[in-house]
Chains A and B, each alone.
Chain A
Amino acid sequence: MELARKLPEIEEAAAKQKKHRTSNIKSARGRIRRGEHRTSKVIGFTGPGGAGKTTLIDELVLRFLNQNPKGRIAILSHDPSVIGEGALLGDRATMINSQDDRVFMRSMATRGQAGGLSPATQDCLALLAESRFDYVIIETVGTGQEAMPFQKNGIVDLTVLVMNPDYGSRLQLQKIVMLDLADIVVVNKSDLQRARTAHTEIEQRLEQNRRDQQLIDTVAKRHRDSGVDELFDLISMVGRDRRPRQTRGRENL
Chain B
Amino acid sequence: MPSPIRLLTAGPICDGHDSAINTINLEFIRHGIEVIYLGYHRSVGDIVRAAIQEDVRAIGISSYNGGHIEFFAEVVALLRKRGSDIKVFGGGGGTITHDDAAAMKRKGVYKIFFAGTSLAEMTD
- Report A's interface with B, CB cutoff 8 A: 1, 4-5, 7-8, 11-12, 15-16, 81-82, 84-90, 92-94, 99, 101, 104-107, 109, 111
Contact = CB atoms under 8 A, between A and B. Distances in A.
Given A86-B4, A87-B29, A90-B39, 12 more contacts: A4-B55, A5-B55, A7-B55, A8-B3, A8-B6, A86-B5, A89-B34, A93-B37, A101-B49, A104-B53, A106-B53, A109-B34
A109 B83 CA distance: 26
B95 to A, nearest CB: 22
Interface class of chain B by DSSP: mixed
Interface in B2-54: 2-6, 25-26, 28-39, 42, 46, 49-50, 52-54
25 contacts: A1-B83, A4-B54, A5-B55, A8-B3, A85-B29, A85-B30, A86-B31, A86-B35, A87-B29, A88-B26, A89-B34, A89-B35, A89-B36, A89-B37, A90-B36, A92-B39, A92-B50, A93-B38, A93-B39, A99-B46, A106-B53, A106-B54, A107-B54, A109-B34, A111-B4
B1 interface: yes
B78 to A, nearest CB: 13
Contacts of A1: 52, 82-84
Interface residues of B, number: 31
Interface of B: 1-6, 25-26, 28-39, 42, 46, 49-50, 52-55, 82-84
Contact of A81 (B5, B34, B38, B84): B34
B55 A8 contact: yes
A86 B28 contact: yes
A85 B53 contact: no
Contacts of A4: 52-55
Contacts of B82: 1
A88 B53 contact: no
Nearest to B28: A86
